Amino acid sequence: MGTQRISGVGRVVLRSGLALALAGTAIVARPVLAHHSFATYYVEQDTIEVEGDIIEFEYKNPHSWIHIMSRDPFGKPKAYDVEWASTSQLENDGITKRTLRAGDFVRIWASPNRDPNDNRIRLKRIERRADSWQWGQNRRENR
C-alpha cells in the first residue's frame, strides 16, 4: 500500500474546505469571545448610586453604554462609563437610541468595578427625574 498523492485540484479543494471550516469556526466563536460574565469585572452583590448628566448614550452591541459626568465623594468631577444591555434587550423594553440624550440628568444604581481605578460600572437601575422615566433590574419595573 503506497501513499496517495493529491492532485493540484485536490489540494485547492482541500485548502478551500479547511479555510471555510476555519472561517465558520471564527464566526461562531466570535460572539462567545465578545460576551463576558459581568462578575468577571463587577462586584455584582454590591450596589453604588451615581447621579449626573449624560455625556453620551452609545446604543450598540454587544452592550450599550451610558457615559455620565458625576462627582466623587469629595465633590470632584468624575466621569463614569456605565455598561448596559444589548440593543435587542433594550428594544424589548421599549428603549431606543432616542430614549436617553446628552444633558439628561440621571440617577443610576450599578455594580461597582472590581478595579477601584476603573470608572466602568454595570447598570442595574436608572431613573430620569425630569419625567419620572425609569428602568429597573427587574424589567417589570419599567415605566
The CATH classification number of 38-141 equals: 2.40.50.140
pLDDT for residue 4: 60
**This prediction's pTM:** 0.70
Is the separation of the CB atoms in 72 and 78 below 8 Å? yes
- CA–CA gap between residue 1 and residue 92 (Å, rounded): 63
Alpha carbons 22 and 98: distance in angstroms, whole number: 39
Cell of 89: 434587550
The whole-angstrom separation of Cα 113 and Cα 56 is 20
Low-confidence stretches of the chain (pLDDT < 70) are 1-36, 137-143
User: What does the pLDDT look like over 16-48, one tens digit per residue?
Assistant: 554 555 445 444 444 444 455 777 899 999 999
| Distance, CA of 72 to chain centre | 24
Domain map (residue ranges) of the chain = 7-36, 38-141
